[in-house]
Amino acid sequence: MRPNLLGCTRVAALVACALLLGALRADAPPRVRVTVDTEGPSTRLVLTASRQVSAAVTASRGKIEIVYAEPVEIQPTEGRLEDALLLEWSLRGDRTLVVHTGPGYREYEVFNLRNPTRVVLDLEGDRPARGAGPRGTEGRPKFVVILDPGHGGVETGAIGPSGVQEKDLTLDLARRLKAVLQQDASVGVVLTRDEDRLVPLDERTSIANHNRADLFLSIHLNSSKRRKAVGAETYFLAPDSTDDEARTVAALENRAYASVDSPAPSAGETQPGLDLVLWDLAQTQYLAASSRLAESIQAEMNLLAGTKNRGVRQAPFRVLMSATMPAVLVEAGFISNPEEEARFQGEEHRNSIVQGIARAIAQFRQGVLRLDMPREEKP
């Protein structure tokens, strides 16, 4: 009997052990990525978590503390800035981030956002005006914008019911936007393509990085099985899509010719090399600024459409991943919708879209902050 009993005990122990391991894996601490944007009038600190975790924010003299409800892995664990509002931040224990405010700091605003879970902390106060900095020297434009007209060549992108091709419309919008932006002599604009040709996604981002651009904007037109789908949507990068529709949009856009080494997969095939680890991507450190740019553009697009209900969305767009500057993708409208397709055939609509984006870029540059994201209650 005894060996039998022992055997039973061993099996039970193994099962218990496996259950415990499973439980441990499910409880792996969420990773929290810290990004800072000091270009706006306020200094924005964004803490993006790999899964849902609640956090409380408290302020005392000279510091603000963000305390998570459970242990987290914060990356990077500390940072130091030359900023009048935020001097440094560091990890205390395994769930608290301590932010030391600067001499110009007056007050803070905090927003808890979902998909992904984020704490957005805006530090407000007085900051001395900035000079043009080294970027303004050597005859280089002070502010370089890369416009990326989606698709091209054999890759038509979406096609509207009466035959409007996404690749033609994106190029036309990019050319119009370039003309508007360059009315400001301090702005330089580079197009990733200025003709009807195929440019791999990776090459588009390389052009932006090579030009040390201040902003990357990929322009697309949406298409949906829902014939009534209408209006513009602005996206920035995330490892997970905010919803099923965002996931579909990213899958469609990622299907484009990715690089010289990896030709476009056929429909239904998954894109190679897209198993995203957000923390390793070049774009990660610009997410706070990218979200601010996306908010600005989407606010203008909402004004144009007379709607308030569309927010900024996030999805894993390949063309944004390696960008070393604030980078967003705008789906300027649904050409699958016959009425919207007809509107895009006229100059007036194209021009108002372009004017709206140009205003948003100017606001982004001036650091005018507009929050137009799904908010949870303020603490």
Q: Which stretch binds Zn ion (CB under 5 A): 24-32, 98-106, 247-255, 286-294?
A: 247-255
If the CB atoms of residues 122 and 253 are measured against Zn ion, the closer one turns out to be: 253
Burial annotation 312-351 (CB, 10 A radius, 16+ → b, else e): bbbbbbbbbbbbebbbbbbbbbbbbbeebbebbeeeebbe
150 in contact with Zn ion (CB under 5 A): yes
If the CB atoms of residues 50 and 222 are measured against Zn ion, the closer one turns out to be: 222
Please give the structure tokens belonging to residue 302.
């909402």
318 in contact with Zn ion (CB under 5 A): no
Shortest separation between residue 151's beta carbon and Zn ion, angstroms = 6
149 in contact with Zn ion (CB under 5 A): no
Q: By rule CB under 5 A, what string of x and - marks binding of each residue 22-41 to Zn ion?
A: --------------------
> Residue 99's closest CA among 122, 117, 118?
122
If the CB atoms of residues 65 and 245 are measured against Zn ion, the closer one turns out to be: 245
The residue behind tokens 């649904």 is 334
Shortest separation between residue 332's beta carbon and Zn ion, angstroms = 10
If the CB atoms of residues 40 and 333 are measured against Zn ion, the closer one turns out to be: 333
Shortest separation between residue 255's beta carbon and Zn ion, angstroms = 9
Shortest separation between residue 154's beta carbon and Zn ion, angstroms = 14
If the CB atoms of residues 150 and 188 are measured against Zn ion, the closer one turns out to be: 150
Question: Which segments within 174-326 are labelled E, that is strand?
Answer: 187-191, 215-222, 233-237, 313-315
Name the strand (E) or helix (H) holding 79. Answer: strand 78-80
If the CB atoms of residues 56 and 264 are measured against Zn ion, the closer one turns out to be: 264
Distances (CA, A) of 110 to 43, 92, 277, 317: 12, 20, 27, 28
Q: Which stretch binds Zn ion (CB under 5 A): 72-80, 204-212, 238-246, 251-259?
A: 251-259
Q: Compute the chain's Rg from CA coordinates.
A: 23
Phi, psi of 358 (to 5 degrees): -65, -40
Stated length of the chain: 379
Sheet holding 96-101, edge to edge: 55-60, 63-68, 96-101, 86-92, 78-80
Q: Which of 157, 231, 316, 333: binder of Zn ion (CB under 5 A)? A: 157
Q: Which stretch binds Zn ion (CB under 5 A): 25-33, 35-43, 60-68, 218-226?
A: 218-226
Q: By rule CB under 5 A, what string of x and - marks binding of each residue 68-107 to Zn ion?
A: ----------------------------------------
Q: Which of 33, 44, 193, 220: binder of Zn ion (CB under 5 A)? A: 220
If the CB atoms of residues 134 and 163 are measured against Zn ion, the closer one turns out to be: 163
For residues 29 and 47, is the Cβ–Cβ distance under 8 A? Answer: no
Environment class of 2 (CB within 10 Å of its CB; exposed 0-12, middle 13-18, buried 19+): exposed
CB-based closest residue to Zn ion: 220
Shortest separation between residue 235's beta carbon and Zn ion, angstroms = 11
Shortest separation between residue 257's beta carbon and Zn ion, angstroms = 12
Q: Which stretch binds Zn ion (CB under 5 A): 15-23, 114-122, 217-225, 298-306?
A: 217-225
If the CB atoms of residues 221 and 373 are measured against Zn ion, the closer one turns out to be: 221
Shortest separation between residue 160's beta carbon and Zn ion, angstroms = 13
Q: Where are the alpha helices (DSSP H) in 182-314?
A: 201-210, 244-254, 287-305
Counting residues that bind Zn ion (by CB under 5 A) gives: 4
**Rounded to 5, what percent of the chain is helix, strand, coil?**
30, 25, 40
What does DSSP assign to residue 143?
E
Residues that bind Zn ion in the complex, under the rule CB under 5 A: 150, 157, 220, 253
